[in-house]
Amino acid sequence: MDSLASYGSFAELEPEHMEEVAWGLRRSNAYFLTVVGESQQAKLPQNFKEETVEKGLVVSWCPQLEVLAHRAIGCFLTNGGWNSTLEALSLGVPMVVAPVWTDQPTNAKFVEDVWGIGLRA
């Protein structure tokens, strides 16, 4: 596994955003686990799961802290919610933060400019 992508339980991504994330994961040619809630799965591109079955896994939930603690995780694509940010930070997992709302832009700034453990998308 190379990366974990999760936008949390509350974020409702626009279909275009979901498509960009999905095809970015596909084109990365990296192994990935992405968490897409049941209510969001219809926004995945058609045939995405089938086209990524060899390197990707799409689930509706995962024990995020346990996954982030696994040595196979090299990067965490997140919306930058405080809990996710704190978990990745405490485990030293680099992040790509694509903020959606509330505290996330501030958290993304800290991830990139203060703590130096990731990038803001």
pLDDT at 9: 61
Give CA 92 to chain center in angstroms.
15
| CATH for the stretch 3-120 | 3.40.50.2000
Instruction: Give pTM, 2 decimals.
Output: 0.88
pLDDT for the residue numbered 10: 61
Q: Is 100 helix (H, G, I), strand (E, B) or coil?
A: coil
Strand boundaries in 1-105, DSSP class E:
3-6, 32-35, 56-59, 75-78, 95-97
What's the confidence (pLDDT) of residue 100?
Answer: 87
